Structure 1
Amino acid sequence: MDNNTRLLFNKMCADMARTYGVNAVDKSFAATPSVEQTLMDKIVLSSDFLQRINVLGVDELKGEKILGSVSGLLGKRTDTSAGDRQTSDVANLDANGYECVKTEYDVHLGYALLDAWAKFPDFNDRFLTYVRRAIALSRIKVGFHGTEAAAVTNSGTNPNGEDVNVGWFEHLRNYNASAQLMSEGGTVGEIRLGGAGDYPNLDAMVYDVLQLVGEEHRDGGDLVAMMGRELLSFDKTQLYTAQGATPTEKERIETNAVTRTYGGLPSFTVPYMPARGLLITSWDNLSLYYQNGKVRQKIEDNAKRDRVEHYNTLNEAYVIEDLEKAGAVEFANVKIWDGSAFV
C-alpha cells in the first residue's frame, strides 16, 4: 500500500486498540460489554432488514428462547368478593430453544482499494463500514438459506451458506413442515403458480400460505409477506399483460409506483430471500441471537497477498420466536408458468 495509506491504516489500528483496550489489533481480541454492544449495533444499522428483526445478545451458548410471541385472551372480569384477580401469561414460548454455533466472518481488502479510500477524509469509516456491511449481508443470506451447521463449511458447494447455520426456513422444516411449510400443491413435489396451476396469481398463493399461520395470530395486524424477486417479477408481468397497453398505467408499473398487498398482507422484498421464497410472519418473530462476550476480532496486514485481513468470530443462532406464527413455501418446489410450461 502507499505510504499515506499506511499512515492512515496504522492510525486506524491504533484508534481501535485504544477503543477496545488492547495493546494491538493484530492479535485476537475481545471487547468490553458496552463496546461489544456498540459494535453489534453498528452491524445492525448497516442493514434495513436487520433493524426490523430482533438481534439480541444471550449469555448462554444454548438455552430457551427469549421473546416468544403474545397469544391468548387477556380481557376478563373477576368477582373480587369471592377471590383474587389473577394475571395471565400471554407470552408463547415453545419448547424449541436455541443453540449458538461459531461463525467466522473473515474479510480481506486489497491494497489497491485501500489506496483509493486513502484519498478521502473518512478512511476509517469506509473501512469499518465495508466490513460491517459484509457481515450483515452474510448473516441475512445464511438466515434464509442455511440448512445445517457443518463442522467445516464449503462455499463452493454451498454458495448461499447452506452449511453455515440452521436458518429460518430450516427451522420450519424441522418443526412441523406439513403444518407450517407448504411443499406441494396438486402435483407431487411442485407448487405451480400461474396458468392452470395451483394458484392463478400471487394473491391466491399468499392467502393460502396465510392459512398455515396459527389462527390466533392471523388477525394481529402485524403479519407481513416477505417474498423473492421471481415471484414479484411474475406478478409484475401479469400487471403488464393486463394494463401495459395504457401509457399511464405502464409508467406506474415501470416506476414501481404501484403499491400492492398480497392476500391482504403488505409485501416486502428483503436481501437474499430465495428468488421463489415466500415467508409470512411478523418482523419481531424473526431473531438472530449472538453470545455475549464471545465476539472476537483480529486485523492483519498480509503483505504476501497485498491485502489487509479482518477476522471476525461470533457465536450465533437463528430463531423463529413462535413457530406457529409463521407460514412459508418450499421455494425449491415452486414452478412458474412461462406461457408454455411450468419451469
Structure 2
Amino acid sequence: MSQNLSVLGAKMYAQMQLDVAETYGVELATKMFSVEPTIAQELNDAITAKSDFLQRINVIGVSEIKGQKVFLGVSGPVTGRTNTKTTDREAKDVSALDDSTYELSSTESDVGIPYAKIDAWAKFPEFAQKYSAAVQKQIALDRIMVGFHGTHAAVETDLDAFPMLQDVNKGWLQIARDQIPEQVLKEGKVAGKVTLGAGGDYANLDALVHDTKQMVDERLRDGGDLVAIIGSDLLAADKAKLYAKQGDVPTEKERIEDAQVIATYGGLPSFSVPFFPTDTVVVTSFDNLSIYFQDSSWRKQTVDNPKRSRVEDYNSRNEGYVIEQLEKFAMIENVELVAA
C-alpha cells in the first residue's frame, strides 16, 4: 500500500475538506467541531437513507440526554359514551403502560479509509459523495448491529471481546430482556433453548410466530401494523423444507424464490433484517423501534493520518435505543432446530 496519497488523491481530499468546512460553517474540518442541530438532522437523514431497515423505524433527534419518549402510543380504546346529566366526560389516559423515559450514551463512530481507496476514488467527479457514502453506510450498519446485539454501555468498548458491538449501548432486545421478561421466551421443554421442528416446542415457524404474537398486549395485537422479524437460520431451514417438498417443480421453485419465502408467518408480514440474531423471532411494529440522538451533541472531524496510511473521519454524538411501547414487543430467542 502507498504510504502517501497520490497527487490527485491529495488534491481531491483537500478540496473535500474545504467543502465540508463550508457545509458545516466552520473554518477547518481538520479540527473537531460541533454540528448545528439542523445540519446534524440532515447528516442523520443521510445515514438513515443508507439502510432500508433504518428508514422503516424512527431515527430522530431529541434535545435532552434524558427525557420522555417521543412516540407514546395509545394502549387501548378511547371511544365510549357518557351520561352528562350525572357525570362529567373524562378524557381517558391511554398512554403506554411502561416506563416512558429514555437515556442516551456517548457514542463514537470513527471510520478509517485507506489511501489506496481514496486514490481509486480520486478519478471520479463524485469523489466527495463516495467518501461520505462510505462513512455513512458504516455508521448505519453499526447502528443496526448495536440495536440487535447491544447488552450494555461500557466506559471503554472492546471490539475484540465484543465483535458485535455488544458493549456500545443497550439495544432493543436487551431492553426487552430487562424490562419485559414475561414477553421474552428463552426456553421451552428443554432448559436453555426453544426447539423447533417435529417433536419440539413448536412444529413449525408459523406456530412459533403465532405464539410470539400472543405475548403482545391484546389491545395492540390486531392494529394491523405488527410484523415478524425472523432470524436467517430459521428462514433458511424453512426455505429448505419448501425446496425439498416443491423445489423440483420449476413453477413452484420460481414462486418460492420470488416470494423469498418470507411473505407471511403466523399471519404476519415477515422480514429478514441485517445483523438480526439468527435464532430469534421478534413481533412488534417497525415504528415501535427507535434510535434517539441528541441533536446538539454531534461532533465531527476529518484527519489525514500518514502514520496509518489512511484518512480518518471522526463522528460522536449522544445516542440511545428505545422501544416506544414495551407492551407491543414480544420475542422468542435461543431457538434450536430439531434434527429431522
**Conserved 8 A contact 1:68-1:285:** no
TM-score by length of 1: 0.94
| Aligned counterpart in structure 1 of residue 186 of structure 2, from 183, 200, 204 | 183
User: For residues 297 and 324 of structure 1, do their structure 2 counterparts lie closer, same or farther at Cα, with a shift above 3 Å needed?
Assistant: same
In the alignment, structure 1 residue 33 sits paired with structure 2 residue 37: yes
Match of 1:102 in 2: 106
Match of 1:42 in 2: 46
| Aligned counterpart in structure 2 of residue 306 of structure 1, from 304, 309, 313 | 309
Q: In the alignment, residue 106 of structure 2 is paired with which amino acid?
A: K
- Structure 1 segments of 4+ aligned residues over 6 angstroms from their partners: none
User: For residues 233 and 258 of structure 1, do their structure 2 counterparts lie closer, same or farther at Cα, with a shift above 3 Å needed?
Assistant: closer
Q: 1:251, CA displacement in angstroms?
A: 2.8
In the alignment, structure 1 residue 276 sits paired with structure 2 residue 256: no
SS at match of 2:297: coil
In the alignment, structure 1 residue 296 sits paired with structure 2 residue 303: no
**Conserved 8 A contact 1:65-1:93:** no
**Conserved 8 A contact 2:76-2:220:** no
**Conserved 8 A contact 2:98-2:327:** no
**Conserved 8 A contact 1:225-1:267:** yes
CA RMSD in angstroms, aligned pairs only: 1.5
Match of 1:337 in 2: 338
CA distance in 2, matches of 1:133, 1:203: 34
Gaps of 5+ in 1: none
Q: In the alignment, residue 129 of structure 1 is paired with which amino acid?
A: A
Identity %: 49
**Conserved 8 A contact 1:286-1:320:** yes
Match of 2:127 in 1: 123
| Aligned counterpart in structure 2 of residue 73 of structure 1, from 56, 60, 77 | 77
CA distance in 2, matches of 1:259, 1:232: 7
CA distance in 1, matches of 2:125, 2:59: 31
Q: 1:158, CA displacement in angstroms?
A: 0.8
SS at match of 1:106: strand
Per-residue Cα deviation, 1:90-113 (whole angstroms, up to 9, x for no partner):
332622521111111000001110
In the alignment, structure 1 residue 260 sits paired with structure 2 residue 253: no
Count of aligned pairs = 336
Match of 2:325 in 1: 322
Q: In the alignment, residue 201 of structure 1 is paired with which amino acid?
A: N
**Conserved 8 A contact 2:97-2:327:** no
TM-score by length of 2: 0.95
Q: 1:241, CA displacement in angstroms?
A: 2.3
CA distance in 2, matches of 1:208, 1:4: 59
Worse-matched range after superposition: 275-284 or 132-141: 275-284
**Conserved 8 A contact 1:229-1:275:** yes
CA distance in 2, matches of 1:74, 1:63: 26
**Conserved 8 A contact 2:235-2:262:** no
CA distance in 2, matches of 1:314, 1:6: 29
Per-residue Cα deviation, 1:146-188 (whole angstroms, up to 9, x for no partner):
00111111111111011110000101110131x1100111111
In the alignment, structure 1 residue 52 sits paired with structure 2 residue 56: yes
CA distance in 2, matches of 1:167, 1:272: 12
Structural mapping, 1:14-25, within 5 Å: 14-25=18-29
| Aligned counterpart in structure 1 of residue 215 of structure 2, from 203, 212, 217 | 212
